[in-house]
Structure 1
Amino acid sequence: MSAETDMIKLYSGRILALAADMPRTDRLASPAATVKQRAPLCGSTVTVDIALRDGIVSDYAQDVKACALGQAAAAVVGAQIVGLTPDQIQTGHDELLAMLKSDGPVPTAPFDGLEVLQPAKDYKNRHASIMLAFDASLAAIAQAKAVTP
C-alpha cells in the first residue's frame, strides 16, 4: 500500500466529520482553570477551560488547533466530558493511550467513539496530538482542584 493510500485510510470520513463538528468551542466566562497544552513534534495546541462542581466537570470549553486526528479526539472528549469525574476522564485517557501505544482495546463508554482513531496507532508522530484534549483536560482539573478547597 502506498503512503498516499495509507493517509487516505487514516483520514477517514468519520474522522473528518468529527473534526468539522467540534463541540464546546465557546470559551467559558469564568472557568475554574484554563490550560493550554502543545504537542512539541507537530505544534498542535489545545486550550481547555473547565468548571467543576462537587468534583464533577460541570462545564467545559476548548480551543483546538490541531490536525484532523487531534480535532477528532477533542470532539469526542468535548462531547462526553461534562458530568464526568476526574477518575472517569483519567480512565478514558489511559484507555486511549493503551489503544494507541500498546494495541489495547477501544476505550470504553463514554469515550468509545475514539475507536475511530484505531488506524492512527501506526502513526506515532500523531499520538501526542491525539492525546492533547485529555492531557489539557486533566491538567485543568488538577489546577482547578488545587485552587478550590
Structure 2
Amino acid sequence: MAYMGRMNAPLYNKDILRLAASIPHHQRLANAQASVEKRSPTCGSRVTADVRMADGRIAEMGLDVKACALGQASAALMAAQAIGMSAAEMEQARDRLTAYLAGTSEDLDFWPGLAVLAPARGYPARHASIRLGFEAIAEAARMADA
C-alpha cells in the first residue's frame, strides 16, 4: 500500500472515503477499442481506462484504479458521469480540472461532485493522482474515436 502520510481530516473526509470505496465501472473491458494507463510519478498512483465508443460517445468503460483515496474519489466522480460523453467533452473536463487545481480557475461546477476535492487544491503533491482518471479516459476516448 502506498504511503499516504497522516490522515488529514480536510483531505480524507467521509465523503472522499465513500467515493473511493465505490468506483463505478471498476473492472477492465475485455473488448476495449482503446486502453490507456496513466501514472503519477510523484506518488505511484495508477489508473487504467478502457473504452468503447458508439456514435462518437463513450458507450462502455472499464477502470483499474490503484491510487490514494483522492485519486480513487476523483476516478469515481469521473466514472459516474462519463458514459455518453464525447472525447472532446472529456478533454475539456480534464483541462478544466487541471486549471482548477493549478489555481488558474475557480470553477468546479463543470462536473458533478468535484467540490468534495476542493480541499486538496492546496496540496500540489496530490494533484497528479486527482487528474489521473480524467486524463486516462480522455486519452482513451480520443484514441477510440480516431
The percentage of aligned residue pairs carrying the same residue is 42
The CA distance in 1 between the partners of 2:131 and 2:33, in whole Å, is 22
TM-score calculated relative to the size of structure 1:
0.88
Q: Is the Cα–Cα contact under 8 Å of residues 87 and 145 in structure 2 kept in the other structure?
A: no
The CA distance in 2 between the partners of 1:9 and 1:99, in whole Å, is 18
Using a 3 Å threshold, how does the CA distance of structure 1 residues 14 and 106 change in structure 2: closer, same or farther? farther
Segments of structure 1 that go 5 or more residues without pairing to the other structure are none
Deviations 1:35-77 (A, max 9, x none): 1111011000001110101110001110000000000000000
Residue 4 of structure 1 deviates from its aligned partner by 5.7
The CA distance in 1 between the partners of 2:36 and 2:91, in whole Å, is 16
Alignment partner, residue 113 of structure 1? 113
Alignment partner, residue 56 of structure 2? 55
Residue 17 of structure 1 deviates from its aligned partner by 0.6
Deviations 1:68-87 (A, max 9, x none): 00000000001100001122
Q: How does 1:29-108 map to 2 (within 5 A)?
A: 29-102=30-103, 104-108=105-109
The CA distance in 2 between the partners of 1:96 and 1:126, in whole Å, is 13
Runs of 4+ in 1 over 6 A off after TM superposition: none
Q: Secondary structure at the match of 1:112?
A: coil
Alignment partner, residue 135 of structure 2? 135
Hey, which of these two has a bigger chunk of helix by percent?
1
TM-score calculated relative to the size of structure 2:
0.90
The CA distance in 2 between the partners of 1:117 and 1:14, in whole Å, is 9
Larger Rg: 1
Alignment partner, residue 27 of structure 2? 26
Segments of structure 2 that go 5 or more residues without pairing to the other structure are none
Number of residue pairs the alignment of both structures matches: 142
Using a 3 Å threshold, how does the CA distance of structure 1 residues 66 and 4 change in structure 2: closer, same or farther? closer
